[in-house]
Amino acid sequence: MSVKDMIKKSVLESGVFDQYNISSILVALAAALALGILIFLVYRRFYTGVIYSRTFAVTLVGMTVLTCMVTLAISTNVVISLGMVGALSIVRFRTAVKDPMDLLYLFWAITTGITAGAGMYVLALLAAAIMTDETVTIENVPNVRDTRVLLQAIEGIGAKVKYVYNNTVQINGGSICDINVDYEYIKKIRASYYLLGALLGKYKRSQVALPGGCNIGSRPIDQHIKGFKALGAEVEIEHGKISTKAEHLVGGHVYFDVVTVGATINLMLAACLAEGDTILENAAKEPHIVDVANFLNAMGANIKGAGTDVIRIKGVSKLHGTTYSIIPDQIEAGTFMFASAATRGDVVVRDVIPKHLESLSAKLIEVGCEVIEGDDWVRVISKGNLKSTNVKTLPYPGFPTDMQPQMAVVLALAHGTSMVTESIFENRFKYVDELNRMGCHIKVEGNTAYIEGVDKITGAQMSAPDLRAGAALVIAALSADGISEIEDIEYIQRGYEDFEGKLRGLGAMIERVDSEREALKARLKIG
């Protein structure tokens, strides 16, 4: 029985998608800025030294953002990463750090910046949990590499972390005594920069990191800077770092020139502990915007209007403990929906919010799939004979950029010519060469991919260039004749929990291997 037949006859069992929610990559820069402000606020409030340095406090914000930016730049190339480490190693601070606690905040900012660069907003929730001295319980936490390492880093600075269940974590930041986040944590994940914003908000001082994540294009932070200035912060960009400082963060009126998920989240995080009222206009509406706002509100923040283009925030003096469950991840759900479409499958995705999947469902219907929705489930039935269509990535509720590679695979197997326009990230078509080696006919011109559908594709040896592209290559491999091998799967492991195990539950013949010997055994088993 072929992989296609096995998937076609499979139904996704209940509980597969009850693990976690992953934010889109757009959150990274915004989260870094917002969390940097929060670290600044924490530093200012809890500073106990003799002379308070406003400049140092603002530097924490800049350090968070800069770290995030660096992470984004080096995330996909080991050689560049090593070169960057070598370059940074020759840079020395000429100003002595007089208070040991300043080091804690400094490394907190750096770690937070790295975390944001991973592009996983759920890590922002984990970092925000340490903004209170009370215990915060977070449910539906993904058991992926980035999450585990971030929790270890939080423990490393003195916070208490406890796994209550497999996907439920309790965090108490009341015992934080150090911000010297070990380099071992920083080098393992690029999303650790979220700690910057959290520490700034709580201790009123932080240091900013350079954004990180998959190398899918530039992520401007001009709207972040504009927002911070509106809240009374001074922002300086110098020597590859962003420095922000404010004796007092005060509410302000911010109109975003473009819809930006990252800046929206960053400003929500900063404004919730600012003095007075803040209004964010032309704000992003993504589900994870609402999720972050709900989480902060559960901790005592006063945020209204999340999910609309106008968000109103009334600053509070402090946050408190809470219990919160992360919403289901529409991108993971969408990945399995599109896998069903590409493999002529019949799959039920459970424990989702169908409203969040409307743009995906609409495109699947356009290409000829049957989509049936329930209260918390979506069923996708594909009988083949897929039809071409055009797709343009847009901010929510438009078609998400994180589903563009998966959609391209489906269209590559559809009859006729399709057009995919990427309006968010300019480097999101790096996977095209890999698909063409499998027999796809895709041509990229500028920010548009022209896809001529083919009857079949064949297995090949490929390399995943980033998280979502890696998932798309897996879908293509499931749809292809023959055996495929995909390298650099660490990208996939960053954002999908037990991806191969869930696919095997659908009937796929897929194995994760760690050596050539294991690869040979897998080929014999699958073949």
Answer yes or no: are the C-beta atoms of 400 and 119 closer than 8 Å. no
For 277, list phi and psi in degrees, rounded to 5. Answer: -100, 145
Sign of the dihedral through C-alpha 309, 313, 318, 322: negative
| CA 409 distance to own-chain centroid | 22
| Three-state SS letters, 113-179 | HHHHHCCCCHHHHHHHHHHCCCEEEEECCCCCHHHHHHHHHHHHCCCEEEEEECCEEEEECCCCCCC
**What span, in angstroms and rounded, lies between the C-alpha atoms of 10 and 340?**
10
The span from the CA of 447 to the CA of 24, in Å, is 19
Please identify every residue annotated as catalytic: 214
Tokens of 297: 């509100």
Token readout for 342 is 């590409």
d(C-alpha 483, C-alpha 513), whole Å: 14
Q: Is 22 exposed, middle or buried (0-12, 13-18, 19+ CB in 10 A)?
A: buried
Q: Given strand 377-381, what is the order of strands in its sheet?
A: 346-350, 377-381, 370-373
* First-to-final CA distance of the chain: 11
Which residue, 403, 382, 381, 385, is CA-closest to 394? Answer: 403
475 close to 508: Cβ distance less than 8 angstroms: no
